[in-house]
Structure 1
Amino acid sequence: MNVLVALAYLMVLPGAFAADLDPNVAAPAPWPVRQVEWRAVLAEIKSPVANLEARASREASLLHGTSEVAAEGLVDRIAGNDNYQLQPLQPFVANVGTSATLSTFVDTQRNQAVKQNGTLVNQPQPLRVGYSIVVTPSVQPGTPEGVVMSEVVVAQTLADGNAVHQANAYNKAGLREGDFQTLVWTTGNRQFLLVLRRKATGPF
């Protein structure tokens, strides 16, 4: 019986090798994308940057795949060295067709120029920033293999002294693993920049 099993194995084995080597044999189907993870940072721009949205889009498009620039590094390239206050965000993870959401309030302070005895001096003023970020991945018919559509919606409330400002922002982009996505908006007179990067993941 063992001899028959061995013979049968030897008869099948060459065919298996031939399938591996034959270019006409269809390759196995790629793993479908089921879950997506993004790394993200939120930055408030200290001094306004002209054409910030166009600059962010251009810089993000220059970096792809295995680029070693992290999201924080891309903020630096877009906003300029030390021209931002950075807030790292927890990773966003969502199955295709569902959403990942981050909602929070941050109490902080910002220096504000006030006049004292005829002289402008910087004084810390309370600032409360609340935001909701929703990221939704989808795989749409006709998109290239490995590309996931990443849809980002931001709602922000900023309480600056007695003034309350609100803003909304939206962006949708096709991302391969390692690609960046940027979102720019202005709340009150403050510019904000959100940078996300799709993390490389294995099959699930």
Structure 2
Amino acid sequence: MKSLVTLFASLLLLLSSEARAESADLSYQLYGQGDVDCSQAFKSRDSVIASQSWTQGYLSGQAFIKGLSFHVSEQQHAELLDQLPVLCPKGKWLIDAMPAVLKAPQLGAASSEYSSVLGAGAFSCSDYLRHAHDKRTGALARIIYGSWMEGYVSAAALGLGNWSLSEIVQNDMVLTFLNNYCQQYPQTTVVHSGIELIRYLSPTDTPHLQAAETSPPAVEAKP
């Protein structure tokens, strides 16, 4: 009887994994909140914060790889993040909302206030260290900064070609990397830690990565 139960569970896992990879092979190229079902991505306060921060990281990663810049009006940005549950297709994952998010008018660089970095990535490493190691803010900081980094490297993994994020799935490597980087370079910004993590994970120095690195991210404004 036990073997039948085990076989049934294995079949369910197989069917689930096949369904999730049906349109594009996202295996090990999508990490964190972007791989969460839309019905679960906004179920609690923490999941909403994680989904919003992951989206900001993903957009910032797209900007880095593709040379984009976004309008960073605080009001417009907040409006866009509030629309995430509506933009997330029923029966899909948070990553499936990103095409609609990228087309949203709120991201248009319609004024002089624009940046290639949105959200937590625009904060300094010293800000991160202060937030992360304060007992009052530490738990929330881990969600915000960790989700942002996950979105950032997911965008790079999907945009730079065939490389895997499986290495960072174990042991919260994203936050470990961010902690180590920021302790060593507290004067830099969180996005620079994201860039270093992309360099670390990328199997080859692709032309897209070379081109992106010639244009440092603009981080003058924080939403």
Q: For this structure pair, what is the TM-score category when the shorter chain's length is used for normalisation?
A: under 0.3
Question: Which structure is larger by alpha-carbon Rg, 1 or 2?
Answer: 1
Give the structure, 1 or 2, with the largest relative contact order (CA under 8 Å, sep 6 or more): 2
Larger strand proportion of the pair? 1
Larger helix proportion of the pair? 2
